[in-house]
Structure 1
Amino acid sequence: MAFWARRGFGFGLMVFVTLLAAAIAQPAAAREATKKAAAAAGPAKTATTAELIAHYGFAPHQIGFAVRDLQTGRWLSAHNAQEPFLPASVSKVPTTVAALELLGPSYRWETRLVSTGSVVDGVLKGDLYLVGGGDPVLDGRRLSALVDSLGTAGIRAVDGRFLYDDTLIASAPEIEPSQPADLAYNPGFGALALDFNRVMLTWDPKGGPRMGEVFDVPPVDSVRFRVSGPQDPPWSTKAGALRYEDTPPPVVTAGLAPMAHPPQTPGESWVLAPTWKGSGSTWLPVKHPGAHVAQVARALAQRDGVTLPPPQPGAAPPRARVIGLSESPPLFEVATAALKHSNNLVAEMIGMTATRRITGRALAPTESAETLAALFRATLPGLDWSTFRLANHSGLTMDSRMTPEQMTAILDYAQLHAFSGLDYAGLLPTRRWGLEDDSDLPETRDGRLPVWAKTGTVYYGRGLAGYIVPRSGHLLAFSFFANDLDKRRTFDEANLHHDGRAIAAARGWLGRARALERDLVERWLATY
C-alpha cells in the first residue's frame, strides 16, 4: 500500500516495532527497569487496589479499569470493568478505529472549486462554487493554493454568483451546545473548515478588538468584534469577558442583477466586556465556518487580483467543471494528529465522514456516533454492549458512556485487526506523567518502553486507554476511568467555567486522578 512509503508513518511504525521487539528479546532488562520504577512509585508499591484508590481520595465506585493480555487473550486486572463511565476524549479512539475500518488508512478528503459556464476574456460567465468535502485539516496555505487555480484557469472575475457548498456532512454552530460559547475547542462544523474553525481575536488600546492575521489568512468581516456599550444589556459577571451574538445577514446580489429573495449568509459577532483593557490575543471559535471559509477564499482571490462577488450558500451541480482541487493528507496521518492533539473538530469530521460512507447521508454528530456504536456492538458480540453510548465523536459531551471492558476490547480489535497493515498503537501518543503534554520520545530515561495511550480530560472526568509492554514482553491493552459526575453536574449547573476557585478545585481533582492512573500503570508494568 502507498501509505507504507510515507516517511512520517513509516518512521513511527519502525520505532514502535523495533522497541516492541527489543522488549520481547530482553525481558531481563525490562524486568530490572520496572523493578526500579516500582521501588519509586510510593503507595503503588505495596498497597492494594482499594487502598490505592482511597489514598488519592476517591470512592471505589468512582474508579474503573481493565487490563488484557493481547497475546493470550486473558483479562489480567479489573475494577468496575463492566460499569459505564464518562470517557471524555477517550471517545476519539473508537471514532478513529471505526473510520480506519470504514474509509481505509489512505483515505483523503477533497476541497474543490467548480464552475458552470465558460471563461470569456478572463471573465467566468457563470457561477463559481467552493465545495467542501469534509476536510478537517484544510489550512490557509492549502486554501490559498486552491484559490490560485482561478488564475491558472484564466479567471480574473466572475459574472455570476460565488457560492459555497458545505452540505456533504452535517453542520451546526457548535459541537456541544451546553459548553460556553467562547471555547475555541467547541467550534461550528460543516463540510468546509479552515484552521480548525477558529480565529484570532487581537486587541490593544489603539486599534481596539479585531481579527488578527494568522497562517496567511487575511482578516475578513465574517466574524466581527466590538466592545459592549450603553445600548447593550447589563454585563453578568458569570458571563466571562465575551458574549457571542449572530449578526443579520448581508443583502447578497447575484452578479449585477439583484435577487428578490437572496439566500442568507450568516454573520457572527463577539461583544467584549466593557471592562476589557490592555492588549493581547486569544483564539475564538467560528460558528458558521462555511460562510467564513468562503469569505477568506474571496479575500485571497482579491489579493491575487481576482474579483469574486460576495459568497452565498448553494449546492453545486453534480456535473460542474472542476477548476481546482486540494487534497488532504491520508486518514492515518490525520487520525494520528487528532489523537495526539485531541482536536474535537477533527474527530467529529472524521466520524461524520465515516458514517456518510456507509449510510449515504449527512448525519448529525449524535446520530452519526450512534451509528458507529452499533457497528462495535455487531462486530464484537462477545461483550455486554448495552451501556455503550457515543453521544458524539470527540467526547466533548457529558452524555457518552463506556465501560473499561468495552474500551479495552476496542483496543484489542484495533491492534489485532491491523487495518491494511496499520499498527494502531503506533498512532497513539506516548504518555509521560512528569510532563503536562505527551512526549514523542521513544523510550523513558531508564530504557523502558513508554505508554501508548489516549487521554480524556474534563473537569471531574479522566480517562486513559492504550497499550503497554511490561516485563513479560507481551503487549497489553488497558483502560482507566475516573469520574465524579455529581461534582461535574454542580460545576455545569452553576456555570463555574469562569470561577477561579472552582476551576482550581477541579484541577486538583484531575491531578489526583492522574497520579492514580500513573501508579496503576506502573504496577501493571512491574507485575505482568
Structure 2
Amino acid sequence: MTRLTRRFILTGMLGGLAGQALAEAPMVSPRPKARPLRVATVSAAPAEDLIRAAGLGGRVGFVVADARTGLVLEASDADLPLPPASTAKIITSLYALDHLGPGHRFGTRLIATGPVSGGKVQGDLVLAGGGDPVLSTDDLGDLAAELRKAGVTGITGRFLVWGGALPYLEAIDRSQPEWLGYNPAVSGLNLNFNRVNFVWKRAGSGYEVGMDARDTRFAPQVYSARVTIADRSLPVYTYENGGKVEEWTVAKGALGKGGSRWLPVRRPDLYAGDVFQTLARAQGAPLPAPEAVGSLPAGTVIAQHGSSELRSILRGMMKYSTNMTAEAVGMAASVRSGVTSHVASGRAMSDWAKARAGVTTPRFADHSGLAGASRISAADMVRILVKLGPGGQLGGLMKEIRYKDKAGKPLSHVQVLAKTGTLNFVSALAGYVSAGGSDLAFAIFTGDIARRDAVPDSQKERPEGGKAWARRSRQMQQQLIERWAAVYGS
C-alpha cells in the first residue's frame, strides 16, 4: 500500500493530468489554480486505517483529486488495474455520447416489402430493430396500433424479424449462471431488456406456470419461451435453446407458494416478434409466426417507433445499472466506426478512452462491467472523470448517493454523485463529491479476485460471505468520502 504522506499529497499529480485538464477550453469560466492542502479542523481517521479495518482482503485502490484541476489530494495503489464492475458504465456513457450524440434516437420500424391492397400487405412484413435498448411491450403495442391505423389487416407473405442492426451476443458474460436476468442476450432487436417474466402459483397439489411480457398497459402471453416443472430440488433452473422456443425447467422444491421472476431471453428477435404477433392480432391484424432473417429486406416503412433521446436512456442506465442497455449503446457507438463484434467493441472503447483522456490501463471486455476480466486503475478513472466528465455533463447522468451518519441522519453537508459497481467480491464507486464549496473527483476499487474466482457455480448468485463483504466495502467507501469531505472541504 502506498504510504500517505504530506509530501505525497502536496506533490502527487496524476502524470500530466492537471496540465491536460487546464489545457482544455473552459466550459463556463476559467478553472481556478490548484488550492494547497487545507489542514483538517475535525478528526478524520487515516485512510490506511479505514481500509485495514474493513478487512476485505484482496486489494484496494483509490484516488481523490480536485475535480477542476486534477490535482491529486490522496491516493493508495492508484495505478493498480482492478475490475471496475458497473462503474465501467461511466466510460460507456461518455463513449456513446461522443459517437452518437446526446440527442440520438433508436428506431424500430415496420417495413412492407410490397404494397398494401385490400387491407393486406402484398408481400412480407418486417419488424426491423434499430438497436433500441429500452424497447418495451407497451411500445410494441403502440406500434401495432399504428399498423392498424395504416389500414393493414393482414399480410400475404411472411412475418419477418430482423435484429442485424447490432451484432448478436447470446449472453453478456458466459461465465455467469444461465438464469440470471441481468445477463441476457443482446441484438439489434431487443425487448424488455431481453427478459421474460416467469409466473407461478399454487394450484391444488401442483402449480400453474406461465411466461408473459408484461408492461404497464399490456401483458401478452409469451410462446417463444416456456417452462416446465421438474420434480427435483437442484438445480433450480435448466435451460435449452430449442431453436424457435427457449425451454426452461424449474425445480419444484424451489417454488414455494408462488411468485414471479424475470429470466433472460437468448433469442430476442423471435421474442419481440412473438409479442408483436399477439399485439397485432389484438388490433385486428393477424400475422403468421415470426421468422428471423439475417439481412434486411428492402421495402416501405409503414409504421415506426422512436426511442427517447440517448441522454435520457443513459440516465436510466446509470440509475438502474442495466447491463443490456450498456452493451447495446456501447456496441451502437462502435458500429459507427465499423466495428463488427462485441469483443472488438470492448477494445475500441478501451482505445478511445486511452486516446481521449491520455490514460493507459483501460482494458474492457464489455460495456457493462459484468465481465470480471475488465480492468482500469483508480488513477485512470479519475483522469477520465476530470478530463471528459464535465464536457459530457456526466454529473447529470449519475444518481445521488445519500449517506447517513451513525445516528441515521442524512449527511447534508456532503453531496455525492456517483456510479456504484458490484460483482462477487468486487466493489467499486466512482464519481464526484461536493463538500464545503470543494468539488472532488474520486474512484475507489476493491477486489478480492482470488476469492471471486473460487466461488462455485452453484453459489454465483449468492456466494457465501458475499453480502457481508459488500456491506463492509460500502461502509469503507462512505468512511473515505466522509474523510475527504472533512479534510479537503473548503
Confirm or deny a common fold (TM above 0.5): yes
The C-alpha deviation readout for 1:172-200, integer Å capped at 9, x for no partner, is: 22111111111111111111111111111
In the TM superposition, what is the alpha-carbon distance from 1:158 to its structure 2 partner? 0.6
Q: Which of 42, 53, 56 is the matching residue for 1:55?
A: 53
The C-alpha deviation readout for 1:311-333, integer Å capped at 9, x for no partner, is: 10125656410011100111111
Kept in 2, the 8 Å contact 1:167–1:362? The answer is no
Q: Which of 206, 216, 241 is the matching residue for 1:246?
A: 241
Distance in 1 between the 2:322 and 2:162 partners?
A: 24
Aligned length: 444
Distance in 2 between the 1:168 and 1:294 partners?
A: 16
TM-score (norm 1): 0.80
Within the alignment, does 1:496 sit opposite 2:459 as a pair? yes
Q: Which of 309, 315, 319 is the matching residue for 2:288?
A: 309
Distance in 2 between the 1:46 and 1:474 partners?
A: 17
Kept in 1, the 8 Å contact 2:67–2:432? The answer is no
Residues 323 and 494 of structure 1: is their aligned pair in 2 closer, same or farther, counting only changes over 3 Å?
Answer: closer
Distance in 1 between the 2:212 and 2:165 partners?
A: 30
Secondary structure, in 3 states, of the residue corresponding to 2:486? Answer: helix
Q: Which of 86, 106, 119 is the matching residue for 1:122?
A: 119
Kept in 1, the 8 Å contact 2:224–2:246? The answer is yes
The C-alpha deviation readout for 1:278-313, integer Å capped at 9, x for no partner, is: 221111111111100001001100111111111101
Which protein is richer in helix relative to its size?
A: 1
In the TM superposition, what is the alpha-carbon distance from 1:226 to its structure 2 partner? 0.6
Q: Aligned residue for 2:487?
A: 527
Q: Aligned residue for 2:198?
A: 201
Distance in 2 between the 1:430 and 1:488 partners?
A: 28
Q: Aligned residue for 1:459?
A: 424
- Using the aligned pairs only, state the percent identity: 34
Distance in 2 between the 1:337 and 1:180 partners?
A: 25
Q: Aligned residue for 2:434?
A: 469
Q: Aligned residue for 2:143?
A: 146
Within the alignment, does 1:220 sit opposite 2:222 as a pair? yes
Amino acid at match of 1:487: R
Within the alignment, does 1:183 sit opposite 2:180 as a pair? yes
Distance in 2 between the 1:120 and 1:318 partners?
A: 20
Q: Aligned residue for 1:27?
A: none
CA-based RMSD: 2.3
In the TM superposition, what is the alpha-carbon distance from 1:213 to its structure 2 partner? 5.4
Distance in 1 between the 2:144 and 2:340 partners?
A: 26
Distance in 2 between the 1:76 and 1:132 partners?
A: 47
Q: Which of 358, 361, 364 is the matching residue for 1:390?
A: 364
In the TM superposition, what is the alpha-carbon distance from 1:486 to its structure 2 partner? 1.0
The C-alpha deviation readout for 1:227-273, integer Å capped at 9, x for no partner, is: 126xxxxx573x3x2111122x4xxxxxxxxxxxxxxxx32011011
In the TM superposition, what is the alpha-carbon distance from 1:363 to its structure 2 partner? 2.1
Residues 205 and 71 of structure 1: is their aligned pair in 2 closer, same or farther, counting only changes over 3 Å?
Answer: closer
Distance in 2 between the 1:434 and 1:284 partners?
A: 35
Distance in 1 between the 2:386 and 2:150 partners?
A: 50
Distance in 1 between the 2:322 and 2:92 partners?
A: 12
Within the alignment, does 1:409 sit opposite 2:374 as a pair? no
Q: Which of 248, 259, 262 is the matching residue for 1:270?
A: 248
In the TM superposition, what is the alpha-carbon distance from 1:47 to its structure 2 partner? 2.8
Distance in 2 between the 1:192 and 1:112 partners?
A: 10
Amino acid at match of 2:485: L
Alignment of 1:31-430 (within 5 A): 45-59=43-57, 62-206=59-203, 208-212=208-212, 214-215=214-215, 216-228=218-230, 237=234, 239=235, 241-247=236-242, 249=243, 266-275=244-253, 276-315=255-294, 317=296, 319-359=298-338, 361-364=339-342, 366-381=343-358, 383=359, 385=360, 387-416=361-390, 418-419=391-392, 423-430=393-400
In the TM superposition, what is the alpha-carbon distance from 1:120 to its structure 2 partner? 1.6
Amino acid at match of 2:272: V
Secondary structure, in 3 states, of the residue corresponding to 2:459? Answer: coil
Residues 119 and 466 of structure 1: is their aligned pair in 2 closer, same or farther, counting only changes over 3 Å?
Answer: same
In the TM superposition, what is the alpha-carbon distance from 1:143 to its structure 2 partner? 1.1
Structure 2, unpaired ranges of 5+:
1-27, 33-37
Secondary structure, in 3 states, of the residue corresponding to 1:462? Answer: strand
Secondary structure, in 3 states, of the residue corresponding to 1:400? Answer: coil
Secondary structure, in 3 states, of the residue corresponding to 1:475? Answer: strand
In the TM superposition, what is the alpha-carbon distance from 1:73 to its structure 2 partner? 2.8
Secondary structure, in 3 states, of the residue corresponding to 2:95? Answer: helix
Kept in 2, the 8 Å contact 1:99–1:354? The answer is yes
Q: Which of 466, 471, 478 is the matching residue for 1:511?
A: 471
Distance in 2 between the 1:514 and 1:344 partners?
A: 21
In the TM superposition, what is the alpha-carbon distance from 1:498 to its structure 2 partner? 5.7
The C-alpha deviation readout for 1:154-175, integer Å capped at 9, x for no partner, is: 1111100110110110112211
Kept in 1, the 8 Å contact 2:89–2:367? The answer is yes
Distance in 2 between the 1:475 and 1:50 partners?
A: 23
In the TM superposition, what is the alpha-carbon distance from 1:427 to its structure 2 partner? 1.2
Distance in 2 between the 1:52 and 1:274 partners?
A: 46
Kept in 1, the 8 Å contact 2:114–2:122? The answer is yes
Structure 1, unpaired ranges of 5+:
1-19, 25-30, 39-44, 230-234, 250-265, 436-443
Distance in 2 between the 1:213 and 1:321 partners?
A: 28
Secondary structure, in 3 states, of the residue corresponding to 1:322? Answer: strand
Q: Which of 449, 456, 464 is the matching residue for 1:485?
A: 449
Distance in 1 between the 2:471 and 2:414 partners?
A: 23
